[in-house]
Amino acid sequence: MEIVSKEILAPRIVKLVVKAPAIAAKAQPGHFVVVRRSEKGERIPLTIADFSREAGTITLIIQEVGKSTALINAMEVGESFLDILGPLGTPYPIEKLGTVVAVAGGLGAAPLYPKVKALYEAGNKVITILGAQTKDLLILQDELKAVSHQLLITTDDGSFGHKGLVTALLGQVLQTETVNEVITIGPVPMMEACCNITRELGIKTVVSLNAVMVDGTGMCGGCRVTVGGETKFCCVDGPAFDGLAVDFKELRLRQRYYSAQEKEAYHNHHHGGEGCKCHAN
Ligand code: FES
């Protein structure tokens, strides 16, 4: 569980390659792990953004959004996680479909990358749309470019690529291409907006949901979502689901449950005398 390499991809976004041979041996696109840094540490679910069976490593990309992720991002090469549970979740089905459009918003590029790579290697024509608020927050451009027939980039402020939202580019692509499936991963409003476009056109759309998770094994119910009128658990039934059947309104409400506590813990960590050194370098 030792960190073998660390790279800062963007402000507060870190890529860690971690020695975890047993997990790397079984990892598939769509799987995730739950990590703990220390005995009292929060359990953090993280997508397996890449893996190497040969090297026995998995790649994790972590955005600092609270105290626990700040502590993980402060870890250095040679340090180890207390434990990593996984691989968890249901792998994303990889089939030869024809033309697939993959849409990533912000950190969504991390879970999207292994799926795009597998779809590309399975012989699909892959058009990838990568978006972020600003140039500095674009991640995995080179990696996605290497496994896409076309990579379109957009930023909200126009600092790189097109100016505007990924949905504008998705609409343009769908006007000119016959598309068999869309896969979209990013903030919930973005995935919902993509689904609103594809629903009109009747295009199958897969989303990957990052609902609040606790145990990651289907026991606590924390990650439940409603899909097609049925209760599903993101950690065992997902995280990938039929986006056209997801109850996004309920998901948005559930995601706000713990935001106040998260903000408080983060504030106390950086400013409350816990002596953090997260931004020391
Ligand atoms: S995280 Fe507990 S049921 Fe999914």
pLDDT of residue 67: 83
32 lines ligand 1 (CB under 6 A): no
Give the pLDDT of residue 210.
77
Domain assignment of residue 158, given as a range: 99-255
- Beta-strand relationship, 57-63 and 50-52: antiparallel
For residue range 259-275, list pLDDT tens digits in order. 555 555 555 555 554 44
The percentage of the chain sitting over the pLDDT mark of 70, rounded to a whole number, equals: 91
Q: Are residues 74 and 204 in the same domain?
A: no
Which residues share a beta bridge with 58? 18, 51
Is 261 within the bounds of a domain?
Answer: no
Residues 6+ apart with CB under 8 A from 260: none
Is the pLDDT confidence value at 278 over 70? no
Which of 61, 88, 115 is the last residue before a domain boundary?
A: 88
> Considering 88, 115, 136, which residue would you say is the last residue of a domain?
88
* Domain membership flag for residue 270: no
Q: Indicate whether residue 219 lines ligand 1 (CB < 6 A).
A: yes
Q: Is the pLDDT of residue 71 over 80?
A: yes
* pLDDT above 90: percentage of residues in the chain: 72
Number of domains in the chain: 2
Nearest CA to ligand 1 atom 2: 220
Check: CB of residue 233 under 8 Å from CB of residue 219: no
Per-residue confidence (pLDDT) for residue 215, from 0 to 100: 79
Cβ–Cβ < 8 Å for 163, 157:
yes
Over range 138-154, report the average pLDDT: 96
* Residue 172: pLDDT band with limits 50, 70, 90: very high
Distance CA 94, CA 143 (A): 19
| Domain end among 88, 119, 145 | 88
Nearest-angstrom CA–CA distance, 62 and 166: 22
- Do residues 35 and 151 share a domain? no
For residue 233, the CA-to-ligand 1 centroid distance in Å is 6
CA of 8 relative to ligand 1 center, distance in Å: 30
- Residue written as token pair 């080179």: 142
Residues 109 and 224 in one domain: yes
DSSP strand E in 169-239: where? 181-185, 204-208, 224-227, 230-233
Enter the pTM of the model: 0.86
| pLDDT greater than 90 at residue 258 | no
